[in-house]
């Protein structure tokens, strides 16, 4: 048992972060090994634009539950790589929508088989361990009562 495993719930967040970092690193290795110029951190934007064709920065940020500035920076980065384009919004001419460029569409076609393989590999692993079901219970628990409130209630005992 390693240091983090010994500490159990005291370092739950740290273990999740380490697992997330490992997960993203391994996926990036697959992209690199396949000579695909893609980063795991771009997944959410590409996935959403594949499903919706175009979205505003606000819509992407809201859906992915990340800050507007984080999405703005990511979109700027992807535009500099010629993977995204800005188009005038159909609903509001003052706004701009984001869409995949021709290069982005080509890249999307190349990465989709990796996403399918990832889904198959992770589904098999998750099914063996009920991870998603248990993670959902934890997320719902935090929605019912925030972690900071749970901690404070234990301090007042």
Q: Name the residue ranges covered by the structural domains of the chain.
A: 36-155
- Taking only the tens place, the pLDDT of each residue in 37-78 is 999 999 999 999 999 989 999 999 999 999 999 999 999 999
Pairwise CA distance, residues 23 & 17, whole Å:
10
Question: What's this model's pTM, rounded to 2 decimal places?
Answer: 0.81
- Taking only the tens place, the pLDDT of each residue in 69-111 is 999 999 999 999 999 999 887 777 777 899 999 999 999 999 9
More confident residue, 123 or 59: 59
Q: What are phi and psi of 99, to 5 degrees?
A: -140, 160
The 3-state secondary structure of 73-140, one letter per residue: HHHHHHHHCCCEEEEECCCCCCCEEEEECHHHHHHHHHHHHHHHHHHHHHHHHHHHHCHHHHHHHHHH
Kind and range of the H or E run holding 55 = strand 54-55
Q: What are phi and psi of 67, to 5 degrees?
A: -70, 150
Q: What are phi and psi of 8, to 5 degrees?
A: 55, -125
Could you confirm whether domain 36-155 is CATH 1.10.10.10? yes
Pairwise CA distance, residues 155 & 67, whole Å:
32
Least confident segment among 2-11, 20-29, 71-80: 2-11
Q: What's the start-to-end Cα distance of the chain, in Å? A: 32
């Amino acid at each position: 048992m390693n240091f983090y495993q010994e500490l159990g719930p005291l370092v739950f967040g740290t273990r999740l972060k380490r697992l997330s970092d490992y997960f993203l690193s391994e996926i990036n290795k697959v992209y690199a090994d396949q000579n695909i110029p893609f980063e795991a951190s771009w997944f959410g934007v590409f996935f959403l634009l594949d499903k919706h064709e175009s979205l505003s920065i606000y819509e992407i940020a809201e859906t992915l539950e990340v800050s507007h500035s984080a999405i703005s920076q990511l979109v700027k980065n992807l535009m500099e790589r010629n993977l995204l384009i800005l188009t005038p919004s159909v609903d509001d001419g003052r706004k701009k929508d984001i869409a995949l460029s021709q290069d982005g569409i080509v890249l999307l076609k190349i990465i989709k088989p990796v996403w399918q393989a990832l889904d198959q590999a992770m589904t098999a692993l998750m099914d063996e361990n009920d991870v998603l079901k248990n993670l959902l219970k934890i997320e719902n628990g935090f929605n019912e009562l925030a972690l900071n409130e749970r901690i404070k209630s234990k301090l007042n005992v």
